[in-house]
Structures are given as structure tokens and as C-alpha cells.
Amino acid sequence: MSAFKTLDDLGDVNGKVALVRVDLNLPMQGGAVTDETRIRAAAPTILELAGKGAKVLLLAHFGRPKGERSSTLSLSMVVGAVEKVLGTEVMFVPEVTGPVVAQSVDILRPGDIAILENTRFWKGEEKNDPDFVKAIAENGDFYVNDAFSAAHRAHATTEGLARVLPAYAGRSMQAELEALDKALGAPEKPVAAVVGGAKVSSKLDVLKHLVSQVDHLIIGGGMANTFLAAKGVDVGKSLCEHDLTGTANEILEAADKSGCTVHLPYEVVVSKEFAANPPSLRTCNVHEVAADEMILDVGPLAVEALGDVLKTCRTLVWNGPMGAFETVPFDAATVALARTAAALTVEGSLISVAGGGDTVAALNHAGVAQDFSYISTAGGAFLEWMEGKELPGVAVLEA
């Protein structure tokens, strides 16, 4: 990981204006914020800057207004929730550039906080328009990016501003980059990756990148079926992308060449119908799946063997559940493997990093999310990082 500046590198910022990119793309229902996780993630950075006497202007996008003002997508709706989490008053400014912002800056006292309007109301945001960037920068002294989740986009407030103002990673961005570096940047070896989820097609680039990076690749979930089919296993009615068996074989060959051991389930949980506790539920060898059955989870003995693999590893990166975990009992493999990973982490023998929407839900369901070394809630940015892609919002901080 190249070096990037953090809040530790800030000089005296008393009275200076901080333009701070945060993630306020909050889940809402009926005009109310239903989950404050993203506000809590940004709070340390906001409060630290305010504590140092900066005037803090928060920049964020909300939804997809496509370059036009939209009354239902105004960030004014999140002000109350942000005030509640921060425990302090927050001003709302209905612009992101121009005299209204300048006047607001004059009104703010050192340590005060304001939220500017949804950056995506202006076309310049997603276009990373240099004039738009310059107009935002005119009202600020320095830039802090605390939104890793938006770092895979080269937008005005995620990338452009870092080119024209002194730029720093916020605390949440810093924690994410440090954790990801420990997992794949400069990891302690051996490294294991668990990749699961529904489809190979959505994670082809992830798989291709990982085989050259890790010592053990554990494949589970629906995507394992495509790999099994590629190896000539009859997977019956299972979710399977038969048109991708060639690609699956290429990935297996690439793994072989880089000395990466691929672990596919040899024992599976199957049923004839996809329902909770179905009457046709059974566990069998992967070669015994009937034509009218589908694979919905990894079997208990196979999961135990996978746990033994994790015991030989120092680092784990995990994306995607091992089975159709939303429906009992097809959550069993994901829960069991997650608990093993969590126990090894607590013991101090494993560094564990996980991410992905359903993965985070599955780890919460297993009750072990807090025991992992790091859980990324970044979604798309996390996946692009797992694909080995350079994230523009990160690269510009490291420049």
C-alpha cells in the first residue's frame, strides 16, 4: 500500500473549512432513516475535525437523481438522523457551490458542522467536471475522503477534489484501507479466500484475481455448482451456469499454475424443493445428487474439513455465503464456517476480513460479525478491490 495522508498529518485547522466526503446514502422508509450504520462510521472523522476547530462541510450523494434536483432525494431528510448520532446541531445548505455555501461558511463558527445538498443533483458530480470541482473547492481549505464505499467511482467529490485541494483519508477510510492491505495487500501467509454466493458470472473477476493471490480458494454457494459441473459432476436441478463451465475450468487451471489449492464441496445438502425444512431434505456425496434435486448448502463433514483448512491459515478474506442461508437449514454451512473463522480470529491465529451485502447479513445471522478482524460494508467498492482493481478515490489519495 502506498502512503496516504490521514488526519494525523493535519496541521492547525482551527477556523479552516474542511470539505468532507462521507457516505450518507442511507436506507430510508417513509422519510425516516432506518439504519444509522453509515452515519456512525463517519462520526469519528466529523467529530475529530470539529473538535480541532474546523468548519466541517459534509459532501455526499443520495440515490440516483441523475443530475437534477429532486425533492424526494434531498439530503435535508437525513439532517435529523445525523444530529442524533453526532449529538450536536447540524446546519443544512441547499447547494454545494456558490454564494449560498460561501455565506453559510461565514455563519458557521469553528467546530460547526453543515451538510451540503445531494452532490448528484448536479451533472458535474458523476462527470467529474473540472469546473464543478473547482467551484466546490472554492469554499474549502482542504479535503477529507471518508467514503470508501464510493471510492470505486471517479466523481467530483470522490476523486476530483483530491486533485485540487490538500487531501486526507478520514478515519473510516483509513481503517478500511489498513484492513484490506492486511488481507490481500501484504498479508501474512498462508492466505485463504472463501467465495460463495449465487452465481459465477457476478464474481468471475474476483475468482480470476484471487487464484493468483491466495494459497487456498474455498468455493461454496450456488457458484460451486458450476465448478462441479465443469468437473463432470451431475448437479441435478441446482442453480448452475452451464455455459460457464469452460470458464470455470480455466480458473481451475490458473489456480493450479499459481499453486492455489481450490476446495470444492464433496458433500452437499440437497432437496427437491426450495423451502424451509423441506421433507425431501438430505445430505449426500456430491456424486449422488439426483436429477430432481438441487444443492442448497455444503454438507457438515465438508464444512468441518474447510474449517481445518482455515486452521492452517493466517489470513482469510471472505465474500459470499456457502449456501442459500436465508432459508433454514441451508444456513448451516455458512454459520458453522463463520463461527470457526471467528473463533480462530479471537484466538489470534487468523486475520479475517469479510465484505458483501449478503455476506455481512449472513455473518450477522451467525452472530459473529463483531469477532471478525474487519467487516467491510462497502459493497461495490469492496468487490472491485477483491477483483484487484485500482479504486480511483483511493489511488488519488495515494498519489
* Least Cβ distance, residue 322 to ligand ADP (angstroms): 7
Cα–Cα distance for residue pair 222/190, rounded to 1 Å: 26
* Least Cβ distance, residue 120 to ligand ADP (angstroms): 24
Which of the stretches 7-15, 57-65, 94-102, 197-205 binds ligand ADP when contact is defined by CB under 6 A? Answer: 197-205
Tell me if 91 sits within 8 A of 115, measured CB to CB. yes
Is 324 an interacting residue with respect to ligand ADP (CB under 6 A)? yes
Which of the stretches 74-82, 134-142, 162-170, 324-332 binds ligand ADP when contact is defined by CB under 6 A? Answer: 324-332
CB atoms within 10 A of CB 289: 22
Question: Could you give the 3-state DSSP secondary structure of residue 293?
Answer: coil
What would the x/- binding string for ligand ADP be over residues 229 to 268, using CB under 6 A?
----------x-----------------------------
Is 320 an interacting residue with respect to ligand ADP (CB under 6 A)? yes
Question: Could you give the 3-state DSSP secondary structure of residue 50?
Answer: helix
Cα–Cα distance for residue pair 228/398, rounded to 1 Å: 41
Judge whether 380 counts as a catalytic residue: yes
Which of the stretches 51-59, 88-96, 172-180, 313-321 binds ligand ADP when contact is defined by CB under 6 A? Answer: 313-321
Cα–Cα distance for residue pair 49/110, rounded to 1 Å: 10
Kindly tell me which of 89 and 326 has the beta carbon lying closer to ligand ADP: 326
Residue with cell 450477522: 364
> Which 339-368 positions form the footprint of Mg ion (CB under 5 A)?
357-358
Is 160 an interacting residue with respect to ligand ADP (CB under 6 A)? no
Question: Could you give the 3-state DSSP secondary structure of residue 320?
Answer: coil
Residue type, 216: H
Cα–Cα distance for residue pair 149/379, rounded to 1 Å: 7
Q: Is 395 exposed, middle or buried (0-12, 13-18, 19+ CB in 10 A)?
A: middle
Kindly tell me which of 245 and 319 has the beta carbon lying closer to ligand ADP: 319
Which of the stretches 99-107, 129-137, 143-151, 353-361 binds ligand ADP when contact is defined by CB under 6 A? Answer: 353-361
Kindly tell me which of 48 and 205 has the beta carbon lying closer to ligand ADP: 205
Question: Could you give the 3-state DSSP secondary structure of residue 352?
Answer: strand
Cα–Cα distance for residue pair 20/58, rounded to 1 Å: 5
By CB under 6 A, name the one of 319, 345, 352, 376 that touches ligand ADP.
319
Phi and psi angles of residue 367, each rounded to the nearest 5 degrees, phi first: 75, 25
Query: Rounded to an integer, what is the distance from CA 229 to the centroid of its chain?
Result: 30
Kindly tell me which of 226 and 315 has the beta carbon lying closer to ligand ADP: 226
Q: Count residues near Mg ion (CB under 5 A).
A: 2
Residues with a known catalytic role: 38, 199, 357, 380
Residues lying near ligand ADP in the complex (CB under 6 A) are found at 196-198, 202, 221-222, 239, 295-296, 319-321, 323-326, 356-359
